[in-house]
Amino acid sequence: MIRRGFQVMARLGHHRGLLGAPRVLPRLNPASAFGSSTDSPVSKLCSEKTDLKDYALPNASWCSDLLSLYQEFLEKTKSSGWVKLPSYKSNRDHMQGFKLPSGLEVSSGKGDWRILTRCIQVEGQGYEYVIFFHPPKKSVFLFQPGPYLEGPPGFAHGSLAVMMDEAFSKIAYLAGQGLLTQSLNIRFKNLIPVGSLVVMDIEVEKIEDQKLYMSCIAQSRDQKTVYAKSSGVFLQLQQEEGSSSQK
Amino acid sequence: MIRRGFQVMARLGHHRGLLGAPRVLPRLNPASAFGSSTDSPVSKLCSEKTDLKDYALPNASWCSDLLSLYQEFLEKTKSSGWVKLPSYKSNRDHMQGFKLPSGLEVSSGKGDWRILTRCIQVEGQGYEYVIFFHPPKKSVFLFQPGPYLEGPPGFAHGSLAVMMDEAFSKIAYLAGQGLLTQSLNIRFKNLIPVGSLVVMDIEVEKIEDQKLYMSCIAQSRDQKTVYAKSSGVFLQLQQEEGSSSQK
């Protein structure tokens, strides 16, 4: 299982002459991978003081359902162990301790890099979303797709695949140690009207043989319409302890 | 199988009070669904005369691999039965005969709608791609991800899920009759460096019980690095014969 799990990492060395040998990690203890502090998730995403813009804040484009559910979860952060995660334009700006396998490090160039889900900066036109995380393994994504994410006219279809990958990646990173997507399986049930709210419930099912197994259900707020269900498997990677921002 | 296949359509009626009954189609003859003309694919995507901008044309951001393979396939369109497909900003502008299930029609508003894969209009920053189709069931997507599609720093990860869904959707539409994604399964093998060329080979495996079964392999031009493999199942929908553009 471990050998197969790191097939991806082993193959990475072949690309573009990047010849660093993959690092095979010692087996992790799931208990230690799942921290219990509610502060640590945010500190894994960014240093305490940052002037980076947080895109996971309400703006004029948010529908009333998104706004009210955001407020509801914000209340829960005060007492129920939920954490609101900030969301920046690029992972380069803030990810703490994330380390790609040897040989795959990238230059810290100053170009205009964006993560896929923050590629559109016009409010309301693209991916409006906010993430709430409940350590050690539960998360809720609130997602409102805009008119730049159409598939069939009036409906935002493929953007859900993007959001599911982002959801799994982020939570695998927070719940485990680093991440690489190994597989993503989505079953679509209903089309999502552009501008409506999608509530995504994500759960880490188990951590086994350096893999995280996750599930997601995406549905309307009243849970009467299921948009899609998915599962994903992620590989754990080594992280640098106490590393500074990669910016 | 048919009843399960149209589960999605049946459920569509529940959303937002859209109460139209789903239309269950008669069983299609795969032979008739796979047309043999090389002209028909383009005519299904747009009327013969259009002043819409085709985004699937070379620009200054294209890497040399993308440019040369584009030229290679363009040569094949002259004699080998390949067709280059145009690519527009929105499906609203040009899709011929595409019809959503009853009750899901959308208004023909004049807002700024874009398909997900054309959401970024700055050359080279987002999804640069061109589609070649070989009726009845083979297709090649040439895809170059830009720096607005990052996942891990330096790599475009989730964008491949988007492109696979777009690839399957477009080819299911051309090879069959309409489309609705039912499932999408992706196994990731290697990370894709931003700015590199991904060659995606798509094939319609079979059409059965009003479903299209498709497969895709995404790899480097020299086929030495497999980025991902995927499969998808699509539902066929009724199309309007001889309908005009939905613009």
Q: Which residues of B touch A119 (CB under 8 A)?
A: 119-120, 125-126, 148-149
A116 to B90: CB separation less than 8 angstroms, yes or no: no
Q: What is the CATH number of domain A52-95+114-236?
A: 3.10.129.10
- CA nearest B183 in A: which residue? A187
* Predicted confidence (pLDDT) at residue A41 exceeds the cutoff of 90: no
pLDDT band at A42 (very low <50, low <70, confident <90, very high): low
Q: Do B161 and A161 touch (CB under 8 A)?
A: yes
pLDDT in tens, B19-66: 233 333 333 333 333 333 445 656 666 555 667 889 999 999 999 999
Q: In this predicted structure, what is the pLDDT of residue A243?
A: 40
Residues of B with Cβ-Cβ distance to A125 under 8 angstroms: 112, 119
CA–CA separation, B152 and A104 (whole Å): 10
Q: Which residue ranges make up each domain of chain A?
A: 52-95+114-236
User: pLDDT tens digit string along A162-206?
Assistant: 999 999 988 988 887 657 889 999 999 999 999 999 999 999 999
C-beta atoms of A188 and B181 within 8 A: yes
The answer to whether the CB of B45 falls within 8 A of the CB of B95 is yes
Instruction: Please give the structure tokens belonging to residue B12.
Output: 């569509």
Q: What is the pLDDT of residue B102?
A: 58
What is the H or E stretch that residue A74 is in? Answer: helix A64-79
* B174 or A198, which is more confident: A198
* Interior angle at CA B29, CA B23 and CA B33, nearest 5: 85
**Whole-structure pTM value:** 0.80
**pLDDT in the model for residue B36:** 38
Q: Which of B65, B93, B165, B222 is catalytic?
A: B165
pLDDT at B181: 87
- Give the chain B residue whose CA is nearest to the CA of A9: B190
Mean pLDDT of A203-211: 91
ipTM: 0.80
Beta carbon pairs, A and B, within 8 Å: 205
Partner residues linked to B134 by β-bridges: B138
Interface mutation target, options A4, A6, A19, A114, chain B, most CBs of B under 10 Å: A114
Å between B85 CA and nearest CA of chain A: 17
DSSP per-residue string spanning A111-172:
S---BGGG---STTTSEEEEEEEETTTEEEEEEEE-GGGBSSTTB--THHHHHHHHHHHHHH
Chain B contact set for A182 (CB, 8 A): 187-188
pLDDT at A74: 96
Residues of A in contact with B98 (CB under 8 A): 152
Tokens (6 digits) for B61: 């951001």
Instruction: Look at A186 and B187 and tell me if their CB atoms are within 8 Å.
Output: no
CB contact under 8 A, A119 and B148: yes
Find chain A residues with C-beta within 8 A of B112's C-beta. Answer: 125, 147-148
Q: DSSP 3-state assignment of A75?
A: helix
Q: What is the pLDDT of residues B209-233, one digit of tens each?
A: 889 999 999 999 999 999 999 999 9
Q: Which residue of A has its CA nearest to B4?
A: A189
Q: Kindly provide the residue ranges of all beta strands, DSSP E only, lying in A125-172, ordered along the sequence.
A: 127-134, 138-145
DSSP character at residue B193: B
Specify whether B201 is catalytic.
no
